Amino acid sequence: MKKLIVASILSLFAVSSIAAGEVKKSCKDKMDAKGQVVKGKDGKPVQVCKEVKVHKKAEGKKASDKKASNKKASDKKASEKK
C-alpha cells in the first residue's frame, strides 16, 4: 500500500514538472511620465523584470492556402456569368 501511495505522489510531481515549461526573465528600464529613464541612488537605471513562459513551437506541415484557391474558383464563376 505504501508503494502505491509513493508511486502516485511521484507521478503527480512528474506531471507538474512537464507542464511547467521554460521560464524566461525579461527586464526593461523603468521610464517616467516624460519618457526618460529612471535612475536609482547609485546612478544605474532602475529595471522592471517579468517572468514569461516560453512555449515550444509545434512542428508540422504548412496548411494549404484555401483562400487563394477559393478566390480562383470564384473568379472563374464570375467570368462565366458575364
Reported as a single tens digit per residue, the pLDDT across 3-55 is: 666 566 766 665 555 556 789 999 999 999 999 999 999 999 999 999 999 88
One-letter amino acid identity for 40? G
Range of the domain at 45: 22-55
Q: Is residue 82 part of a domain?
A: no
Q: Report if pTM > 0.85.
A: no
pLDDT of 77 > 70? The answer is no
Q: How many structural domains does the chain have?
A: 1
Evaluate whether 36 touches 30 at the Cβ level (below 8 Å): no
- Predicted pLDDT of residue 62: 75
The verdict on residue 60 lying in a domain is no
Tell me, what's the pLDDT at 59? 81
Residue keyed to cell 478566390: 71
**Residue 4: inside a domain:** no
Give Dmax (Cα) for the chain.
81
- Residue 71 belongs to some domain of the structure: no
Beta strands per DSSP E along the chain: 22-29, 47-54
* Residue 37, domain member (yes or no): yes
Asked if residue 8 belongs to a domain, the reply is: no
